[in-house]
Each structure stands twice: as structure tokens, then as C-alpha cells.
């Protein structure tokens, strides 16, 4: 009996240590990283020691890769946490060898450190690369990561299909990953929520699912309007305020299930919506986030922390944020 009690005590202590180490963190993905009081309060409530801030994208134009969407300002409040720069690199960049891989590493690392030095007066110790690589770009992308890792600690974003088909896509040579548990569905399918759907998650991750890297779990804290034009082409508008559509019966007609059809041309948040365009308003519920979170946590994946995408006052207010963080 004493041995059983002793074993239980050890398990409880181990569990307690894991809970103490566990953190809820944030992505910040806006060009101006100035914080509102609501956003600062969210950081305080989660006691996060680390925040991932999007610094810039690398895209391909006319066969030449170059940075775009470079961050314009960073709030001094971020000096209270460790900031990890995040760089999105378009997969197409690794299809074109206009520069050597080393040259691309040099350019990315140099710009990251210039930005970090400007706002924090020190060098970044860690960087995260966001790229949805494919079998055709895998070799070049992994070489890029290997070279970058010689200079700085590196993590990468991982998609669900890269977990399920890891033999085909390969395991990136990095320190750890961030499993992106959002944008899992089909934007064009108006019968499903493309942001997060636990049924889709369960198709990719089972109880026995493993992955050789430690993973942070990135969960959605955002909403969007999916716009489908007459040719079924898709565009997005960030943030959903459903009252804008419910109350404007001159321009929008409800089709049910958070869907609308445009009755009359309307300029909305800088985008023209024309007659007969269809709209799908997508939000994530706490229930769906918790269900999906549980699927991952009950698998054999090695999960470290949770990262919420992303730190935004409107989204925090729209969702019962305090209830959410107590359930993760």
C-alpha cells in the first residue's frame, strides 16, 4: 500500500511540474505591434514569458525573393517577455535558386537581427520560420534551416498534413515545432468552418500519432469573412462583426448558418462586395477549440505549450477569453 501511495505521489509531482512549465503564449501578426490595454491585460492574465511576433514575409516577385510586410513598430511593453521573431517564407521562394541558400539565410538573419536590435537593443536568440513546404521544396528548405540553425535556435510551423504524412514530407532539422491547428478546412466549402473543425483534426491525428519533434500547439483566436465571387474565387476579410451584415438589410440578405448574399454593391473594410457575392462568416467557439485541443493532447504527440493566434483586442473581446484560458 505504501509503495502504491508513493508511486501516486511521484506521478502527481511530475504532473504538477509539467503544469508549472506549461504556458499559454501568443502570436502577434500585425504590422504595428503597439498594444492596447486589453491586449496587455491578456498577456498579464496568461503569465506568458514568451511572445512570437511576425517580423516580415519573404515572397517571390519576377523570380526574385524579397521582404514585404515588414513590421513598423513594436511596443516597449514587449520588453517584459522574450520575443521570438517569426518570418513567413513563401514556398515558391525555395523553388527558384536565384540566390544560394546561404545567401538567403544571410539576408533573413540580417534583417531579423536589425529589427530586433532596433526595438530591444540586443540580438534575438531564437527565430521561427513559417513555411508550408512540399516534397519538391523539402531539400532546399531543410538545407536553409540547417544553415540558419548554425547561427540561432530555430523552430518551424508544422501543418496537420505534415504530421500525418511525415514520411513523405520529412522532419525539419530544427529544435522544435509549432503545430498550427487552424485553417484546417476548405475555404470554399460553405458547409464547414475552415478555421477549425475537430472532425477534420481527428482525421489527421489519432491516439497513437507520434512526431519526433517537441511541439507547441497553435490554436485560433481570430475570425474572418470568406468572400466568394460569381466565379467562385475566394478572398478574405479579417475579423467578423456579424451585426454589420445583420443590420444592413439594404446590402445583405441572410442565408442562415452565418452566411449572406450581397444584394447591392457595398464597400466594406476597403473591399468592394458586388451583387450576388456570397459571404461566410467564420468564428471559432470555445467548445470547438477545446475539442480539437483534447484530440491533440490525448495523442502521443509531445506537446509543450499553447500559442494563441493571435493577440488582437477585437478577437479577445468577442470570445470569452478568461473562460478559454481556464479550459486549455
pLDDT digits (tens, 9 = 90+) for 264-289: 999 999 999 999 999 999 998 999 99
What's the gap between Cα 77 and its chain centre?
22
Give pLDDT, residue 34.
Answer: 95
305, 47 Cβ separation under 8 angstroms: no
> With left for phi above 0 and alpha for psi between -120 and 50, is residue 14 left, alpha or beta?
alpha
Predicted TM-score (pTM) of the model is 0.91
User: C-alpha distances in angstroms, 6 versus 1, 16, 129?
Assistant: 9, 15, 44
Report the b/e string of 272-285 with b at 16+ CB within 10 A: ebeeebbbbbbbbe
Residue 207, all three cell numbers:
491516439
Give pLDDT, residue 194.
Answer: 96
> With left for phi above 0 and alpha for psi between -120 and 50, is residue 154 left, alpha or beta?
beta
> With left for phi above 0 and alpha for psi between -120 and 50, is residue 121 left, alpha or beta?
left
DSSP 192: S
CA distance 198 to 143: 34
Give pLDDT, residue 318.
Answer: 85
Contacts of 235 by beta carbon, 8 Å cutoff, 6+ apart: 226, 227, 229, 271
User: C-alpha distances in angstroms, 88 versus 58, 71, 172?
Assistant: 6, 12, 16
User: C-alpha distances in angstroms, 81 versus 44, 77, 118, 305?
Assistant: 10, 8, 16, 15
CA distance 113 to 120: 10
Q: Compute the residue count for the chain.
A: 328
Range list of H helices, 85-231: 101-120, 138-149, 160-164, 166-169, 198-204
50 CB-contact burial (10 Å; exposed 0-12 / middle 13-18 / buried 19+): middle
What's phi and psi for 204, nearest 5 deg? -105, -30
Low-confidence spans in the chain with pLDDT less than 70: 1-20, 97-99
Give pLDDT, residue 129.
Answer: 98
**Do you find a cis peptide bond into 263, omega within 30 degrees of 0?**
no
Residue 192, all three cell numbers:
464547414
Give pLDDT, residue 320.
Answer: 87
Amino acid at each position: 500500500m505504501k509503495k502504491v501511495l508513493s508511486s501516486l505521489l511521484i506521478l502527481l509531482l511530475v504532473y504538477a511540474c509539467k503544469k508549472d512549465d506549461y504556458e499559454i503564449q501568443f502570436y502577434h501578426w500585425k504590422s504595428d505591434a503597439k498594444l492596447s490595454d486589453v491586449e496587455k491585460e491578456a498577456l498579464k492574465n496568461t503569465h506568458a514569458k514568451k511572445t512570437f511576433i511576425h517580423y516580415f514575409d519573404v515572397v517571390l516577385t519576377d523570380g526574385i525573393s524579397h521582404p514585404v510586410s515588414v513590421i513598423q513598430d513594436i511596443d516597449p511593453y514587449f520588453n517584459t517577455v522574450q520575443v521570438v521573431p517569426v518570418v513567413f517564407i513563401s514556398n515558391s521562394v525555395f523553388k527558384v535558386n536565384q540566390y544560394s541558400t546561404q545567401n538567403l539565410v544571410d539576408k533573413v538573419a540580417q534583417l531579423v537581427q536589425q529589427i530586433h536590435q532596433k526595438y530591444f537593443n540586443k540580438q534575438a536568440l531564437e527565430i521561427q520560420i513559417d513555411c508550408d513546404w512540399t516534397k519538391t521544396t523539402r531539400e532546399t528548405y531543410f538545407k536553409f534551416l540547417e544553415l540558419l540553425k548554425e547561427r540561432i535556435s530555430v523552430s518551424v510551423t508544422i501543418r496537420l498534413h505534415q504530421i500525418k504524412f511525415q514520411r513523405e514530407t520529412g522532419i525539419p532539422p530544427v529544435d522544435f515545432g509549432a503545430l498550427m491547428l487552424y485553417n484546417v478546412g476548405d475555404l470554399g466549402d460553405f458547409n464547414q468552418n475552415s478555421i477549425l473543425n475537430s472532425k477534420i483534426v481527428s482525421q489527421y491525428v489519432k491516439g497513437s500519432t507520434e512526431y519526433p519533434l517537441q511541439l507547441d500547439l497553435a490554436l485560433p483566436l481570430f475570425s474572418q469573412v470568406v468572400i466568394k465571387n460569381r466565379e467562385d474565387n475566394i478572398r478574405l476579410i479579417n475579423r467578423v462583426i456579424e451585426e454589420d451584415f445583420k443590420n444592413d438589410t439594404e446590402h445583405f440578405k441572410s442565408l442562415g448558418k452565418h452566411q449572406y448574399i450581397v444584394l447591392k454593391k457595398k464597400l466594406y473594410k476597403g473591399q468592394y462586395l458586388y451583387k450576388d457575392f456570397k459571404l461566410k462568416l467564420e468564428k471559432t467557439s470555445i467548445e470547438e477549440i477545446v475539442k480539437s485541443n483534447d484530440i491533440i493532447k490525448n495523442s502521443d504527440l509531445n506537446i509543450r505549450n499553447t500559442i494563441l493566434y493571435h493577440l488582437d483586442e477585437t478577437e479577445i473581446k468577442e470570445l470569452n477569453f478568461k473562460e478559454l484560458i481556464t479550459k486549455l
